[in-house]
A and B are shown apart, each in its own frame.
Chain A
Amino acid sequence: MDPNESKEAFGNGVETATQSVNQLTMKEHTTQDGGGVQVTCFSEVSNEVTLHFQIIRLQKQIYAWIGCSSAKFGHLYAAARTRPSNTVSVTSLIGGTSDNTGSGVARRLVLKTGLNIILACDLPKNSPMLEADAEKRLVQKLISLGYTKPQV
């Protein structure tokens, strides 16, 4: 590899970074880098609590983050359909102790959308209504963005 080419590529990236870091509106914002990555950010109010959503679409996987009135990363889960019977498996990667607030959400996201999901979730435990509402809004957004796969 030519080191100068790499340096130039990242140098060009600096300009891109300066432009793309200015993602500063509360309205839904989707950026597309001309390649396989789309980032969608939006916020919605649910029962006096502000839910923040970030969706990063990669070609074969979706990463999603759900925040609740803050920008904390929360717990990280991975969920996907697995062989041999194609049932949905979910595992906690970071955090995710006994409350596992996000693991059910991750699992149901795969069930409803057919996508391979990595979910970071900072919802409070013992708030099933909030959890259900956040999940519903996220699924609706994934469907409206056209990311979901047809379910057999």
Chain B
Amino acid sequence: MDISTPTFPVHHSTLSLDIEGHKTEIIISSYEDHFLVIVTQIGSMGTILHARKEEGVSINPTFNVSVTFGKRDEPMLVACARQLIEFISASGYSKGLVLSLGLKDHSVVRHIFLYFLEYCSVVLNLLPK
């Protein structure tokens, strides 16, 4: 890293791996107020969800998760976004999350989610806060 060179303000990380025979691309991008996480097997962003922490007085944070584009009848996707925003919040970020899931088989989410979370945690720790 060249410290003297001005840096691009958005950092990102990409990963390509094989999940049950399907090539899967993961891109994590960090903006000032949001994380963008793209997981795709279909060559497009697929279903896009938006998740954010609600400002409130209660000690326990509440989250708002919604599907903004794509499949609205797949609760696993909403659960995935919710888990991820809770994780992001617990890691000390107050950023929102834009999650894009373009999967061939949505049941895969259940299997890979823990490892995916571990990967996200590594990337988040590497990114400047």
* Chain A residues engaging chain B, CB cutoff 8 angstroms: 1, 3, 6-7, 9-10, 12-14, 16-18, 20-27, 29, 31, 33-37, 39, 41-43, 52, 54, 56, 58-61, 63, 65, 67, 70-73, 76, 78, 91, 93-94, 116, 118, 120
Known: A25-B2, A25-B7, A33-B25. A72 touches B15 (CB 8 A): no
A-B contact count (CB 8 A): 163
Assuming A20-B14, A52-B10, what are 14 further A-B pairs, CB within 8 angstroms? A6-B115, A10-B118, A13-B26, A24-B1, A24-B8, A31-B14, A33-B15, A36-B43, A39-B27, A43-B8, A59-B43, A60-B42, A72-B33, A94-B50
**What's the minimum C-beta distance from A121 to chain B, rounded to whole angstroms?**
12
**Chain B window 49-74, contacts with chain A (Cβ cutoff 8 Å), 1 for yes, 0 for no:** 01000000000000000001100000
CA gap between A15 and B32 in the complex, in Å: 24
Q: Is there contact, CB below 8 Å, between A1 and B111? A: yes
